[in-house]
Amino acid sequence: MKYQGIIFDLDGVLCSTDRFHFQAWQQTAREAKAPFDEAVNQRLRGVSRMESLEIILEASPLTFTPEEKERMAEEKNERYRRLLRQMTPADMPNGVREALESLRAAGLKLAVGSSSKNARFILERLEAGQYFDAVCDGTQIARSKPHPEVFLKAAEMLGLPPAVCLVVEDAPAGLQAARAAGMDCAGVGGADWPFAPAYRLEDVTTLPAVLRG
């Protein structure tokens, strides 16, 4: 097989927490008197919490100090984590666990590479941590996607060079981060990709068959 390691983004690839993010950010936008809809929400995919807040505040008529922004971001995260407690193993879509088991059986090392600081908590709620040899999340990086740091660190944690790792992503920022890391990328879903990923997947369940050719 061409690859020795697979690095998965979490949200939108292995599960979906979009509804929780939307609800949590919606309250932040109300506080800032800023418009918030699905188009704005889509711009937040794959970027850090503080960068997401800045995107929301672009349309706010109010001005906030750095301290107020920190408070707003922290309050959003607390709302989000309360909502995440609703997650169960059933929130991992059908067939994803089987796909991960198939990839592991093929001898591949698996990692999660996510900008989210809640990645480990989400994996815990999904009861999915056992599938991964490494987890690199937002608590371990200084720069979020499209910077390649999260993927480079995940590869390092797997003990593999970037060239033999495949990234699985659903967001344009993740695709750009994979290229910057020197890794191929499998794009999940119908995002408006800035350039063509190495593979296009409807969802993760098809990945084992795609890699077998």
In degrees, to the nearest 5, what angle opens at C-alpha 164 toward C-alphas 163 and 166?
95
Active-site residue flag, 9: yes
Which of 9, 137, 170, 184 is flagged as catalytic?
Answer: 9
Catalytic residue at 137? no
Tokens of 149: 């740091």
Helix H or strand E encompassing 75 = helix 66-84
All structural domains of the chain: 5-16+91-212 (3.40.50.1000), 18-84 (1.10.150.240)
Q: At what angle do helices 18-31 and 49-57 cross, to 10 degrees?
A: 50
Provide the pLDDT for residue 46.
Answer: 72
Q: Do 117 and 135 contact (CB within 8 A), yes or no?
A: no
Q: Determine the length of the chain.
A: 213
DSSP 3-state of 181: helix
pLDDT of residue 167: 98
Show the tokens assigned to 182. 């020197």
Per-residue pLDDT of the chain (213 residues; tens, 9 = 90+): 799 999 999 998 999 888 898 999 999 999 999 999 999 988 887 778 899 999 999 999 999 999 999 999 999 999 999 999 999 999 999 999 999 999 999 999 999 999 888 999 999 999 999 999 999 999 999 998 999 999 999 999 999 999 999 999 999 999 999 999 999 999 999 888 999 999 999 999 999 999 998
Q: What pLDDT score does 23 carry?
A: 94
Residue-level pLDDT at 130: 97
Distance, in Å, from the CA atom of 54 to the CA atom of 51, rounded to the nearest integer, reads 5
- In whole angstroms, what is the distance from residue 115 CA to residue 92 CA? 19
Indicate which residue of 11, 137, 170, 184 is catalytic.
11
Query: Which are the contacts of 203, defined by CB distance < 8 A and separation ≥ 6?
Result: 93, 95, 96, 188, 189
pLDDT score for 44:
87
Point out which residues pair with 134 in neighbouring strands. 111
